[in-house]
């Protein structure tokens, strides 16, 4: 929502609440509850699909644009090359070959020949942007075992990427390095609750959440169904523990190697990690669950050490933003601004106009839209031709 759909944080939070009411507040009556029940996903995949399409349609029409609802089903993941680049992860299993792999979905092109010389950082399943509807990718990346059925896309079954990349920060770092040939100046990783062990201690940095001991003897009893419950329990532990060698520790080590000085990990302590992925109480509003999440988050953010870390990261981000804002590309990238020529002879141009100020400046000089292209009034003329785009 924050990336491809370009929502604000507040807009995304509002849409999550609507999704929770539409999906998590309507669990199936008959789903897996004990070792004697045959496994069945807890929530309807169709309801999830419809909820995702509602979110997509909302984002496509939030600036007053009118579109039929079916457009949300057709809206593809690829996006303009001059805008935010978005990646998400799923766990894919090829139906015929049975090959399992982490799968990276991109809204942009990343072919194998881009920065191929940087052999240490090869991109995952390098390809052109995934020309797949957004709602399908949303389903693929949220199909947590026991909660939602996997979705089949291009003859591959896709599950929630948290099965193999519960903290994808290291994969993101490799993707940036492979795409650009250099590392980000600032890297911020945000968790969803610091998981504690049974003794109340925070996991050690070298802990492994999902290992051979996950399915202990007590979980192996009960035949196939008992094993299924044990497997689901192991997956749940792995997907909710993001601090071990495959999560924060691995990311931190990679940042050290690449000398990324400005990095920060924010993960709420306390009871947030005990809230289930699908917790939604009461079912009609989720208000109790949401209030608890907010309170735990506020308590964490009120800590002096956390505030100091946030301020440090914010200073670096502001410095970067100021540098980027001096470039003409910034208008289009961050503000959804385009330029349109007012001359009637140029009305045949694309309705989206010119994506950058420099492109339109060249056009204005060519078409004679302004008499004197050397004085300050020319820049004022360019300003008058700026328009806010209405499409996502």
Summarised one tens digit per residue, pLDDT across range 293-306 is 999 999 999 999 99
Q: Angle CA(305)–CA(311)–CA(312) in degrees, nearest 5? A: 90
Alpha helices (H) along 181-328: 217-220, 223-240, 248-257, 287-301, 304-325
Element (H, E) at 383: helix 376-384
User: In terms of Cα–Cα distance, which of 107, 104, 96 is closest to 4?
Assistant: 107
Q: What is the predicted pLDDT for the residue at 217? A: 38
Which string of b and e fits 362-378 if b means at least 16 CB within 10 Å?
ebbeeeebbeeeeeeeb
* pLDDT > 50? residue 325: yes
Q: Mean pLDDT across the stretch 116-138?
A: 85
Q: Angle CA(126)–CA(128)–CA(129) in degrees, nearest 5? A: 110
- Count CB atoms within 10 A of the CB of residue 9: 9
**Alpha carbons 258 and 300: distance in angstroms, whole number:** 29
106 vs 234 pLDDT, higher one = 106
Encoded tokens for 266: 């924010």
Q: What is the predicted pLDDT for the residue at 246? A: 61
């Amino acid at each position: 929502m924050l990336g491809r759909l370009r929502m604000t944080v507040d807009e995304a939070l509002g849409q999550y609440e609507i999704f929770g009411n539409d999906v998590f507040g309507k669990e199936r009556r008959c789903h897996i509850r004990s070792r004697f029940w045959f496994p069945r996903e807890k929530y309807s995949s169709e309801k999830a699909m419809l909820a995702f399409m509602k979110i997509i349609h909302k984002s496509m029409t939030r600036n007053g644009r009118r579109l039929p609802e079916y457009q949300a089903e057709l809206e593809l993941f690829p996006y303009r090359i001059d805008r935010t680049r978005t990646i998400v992860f799923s766990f894919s299993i090829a139906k015929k070959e049975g090959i399992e792999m982490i799968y990276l979905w991109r809204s942009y092109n990343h072919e194998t020949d881009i920065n191929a010389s940087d052999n240490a950082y090869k991109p995952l399943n390098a390809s052109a942007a995934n020309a797949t509807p957004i709602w399908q990718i949303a389903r693929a990346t949220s199909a947590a075992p026991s909660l939602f059925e996997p979705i089949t896309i291009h003859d591959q079954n896709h599950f929630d990427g948290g099965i193999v990349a519960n903290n994808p920060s290291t994969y993101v770092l490799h993707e940036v390095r492979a795409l650009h040939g250099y590392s980000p100046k600032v890297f911020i990783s945000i968790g969803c609750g610091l998981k504690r062990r049974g003794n109340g201690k925070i996991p050690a940095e070298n802990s492994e959440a999902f290992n051979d001991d996950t399915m202990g003897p007590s979980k192996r009893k009960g035949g196939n169904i008992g094993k299924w419950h044990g497997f689901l329990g192991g997956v749940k532990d792995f997907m909710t523990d993001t601090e071990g060698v495959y999560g924060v520790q691995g990311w931190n080590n990679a940042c050290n190697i690449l000398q990324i000085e400005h990095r920060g990990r924010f993960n709420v302590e306390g009871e947030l990690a005990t809230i289930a992925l699908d917790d939604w109480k009461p079912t009609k509003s989720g208000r109790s669950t949401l209030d608890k999440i907010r309170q735990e988050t506020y308590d964490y953010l009120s800590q002096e050490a956390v505030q100091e870390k946030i301020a440090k990261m914010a200073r670096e981000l502001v410095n970067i933003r100021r540098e980027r804002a001096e470039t003409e590309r910034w208008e289009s990238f961050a503000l959804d601004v385009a330029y349109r020529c007012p001359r009637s002879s140029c009305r045949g141009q694309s309705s989206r106009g010119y994506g950058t100020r420099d492109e339109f400046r060249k056009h204005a000089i060519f078409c004679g839209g302004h008499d004197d292209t050397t004085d300050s009034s020319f820049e004022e003329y360019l300003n008058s031709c700026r328009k806010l785009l209405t499409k996502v």
